């Protein structure tokens, strides 16, 4: 290892986890270390916007579905497929392990994943969820359900990479950032405007280390 690179880096981070950074930079260990550190920083910066997008999506969909089915725990009567029904069951089991004996509908909603809410926009739910209810969750959107779902699914993928500490430096992160705001704007443009006041992503993107841009 290069003498200027901390000797503990590969030992603590692990060789396999550091390898994608080395591979992206033709084995230059010092620049790869700079890229690794920046990847941590930009992942941290994206957490806030992605957090807001997930919260916004789940609450917008939840509001429309409880209106549609006339109950806060709409999943009891909605025609969910086996996959989504299993996710609701898993959310309840997780709450039980937390000793939440009588979970409220809001408790369950909080436990359901970003991916769950995006899955409700799948083609299989066109007739029973999208047409009668979920399209109203996006009052400022006029495109196809499929395009909306695909863009949200891309953000689920980004969120999961960040939460599992995976590299995101290879992505077109500026485009990802724009996409988050576009999706937020479909639900509530004022929420998107509020977020910009403390969003650190543009600042961190501008600090990408020299020699790591592809």
| Mean pLDDT taken over the chain | 92
Is 118:57 a contact under the CB 8 Å cutoff? Answer: yes
Amino acid 2: pLDDT = 45
pLDDT in tens, 30-81: 888 889 999 999 999 999 999 999 999 999 999 999 999 999 999 999 999 9
Beta-carbon contacts of residue 57 (< 8 Å; ≥ 6 apart): 114, 117, 118, 137, 152, 183, 187
pLDDT in tens, 74-91: 999 999 999 999 999 999
Task: Quote the pTM value.
Answer: 0.90
């Amino acid at each position: 290892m290069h003498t200027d690179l901390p000797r503990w880096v590969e030992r603590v981070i692990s060789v396999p986890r550091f390898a994608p950074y080395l591979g992206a930079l033709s084995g230059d260990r010092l620049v790869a270390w700079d890229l690794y550190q920046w990847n941590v920083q930009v992942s941290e910066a994206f957490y806030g916007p992605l957090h807001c997008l997930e919260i916004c999506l789940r609450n917008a969909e939840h509001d429309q579905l409880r209106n549609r089915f006339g109950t806060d725990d709409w999943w009891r009567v909605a025609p969910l497929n086996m996959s989504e029904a299993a996710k609701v069951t898993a959310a309840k089991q997780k709450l039980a392990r937390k000793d939440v004996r009588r979970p409220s509908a809001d408790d369950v909603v909080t436990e359901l994943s970003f991916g769950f809410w995006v899955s409700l926009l799948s083609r299989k739910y066109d007739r029973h969820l999208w047409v009668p209810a979920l399209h109203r969750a996006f009052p400022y959107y006029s495109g196809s359900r499929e395009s909306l779902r695909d863009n949200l699914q891309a953000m689920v993928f980004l969120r999961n990479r960040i939460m599992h500490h995976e590299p995101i430096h290879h992505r077109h992160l500026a485009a990802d950032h724009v996409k988050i705001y576009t999706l937020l704007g479909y639900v509530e443009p004022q929420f998107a405007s509020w977020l910009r006041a403390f969003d650190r992503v543009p600042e961190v993107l501008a600090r990408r280390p020299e020699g790591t841009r592809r």
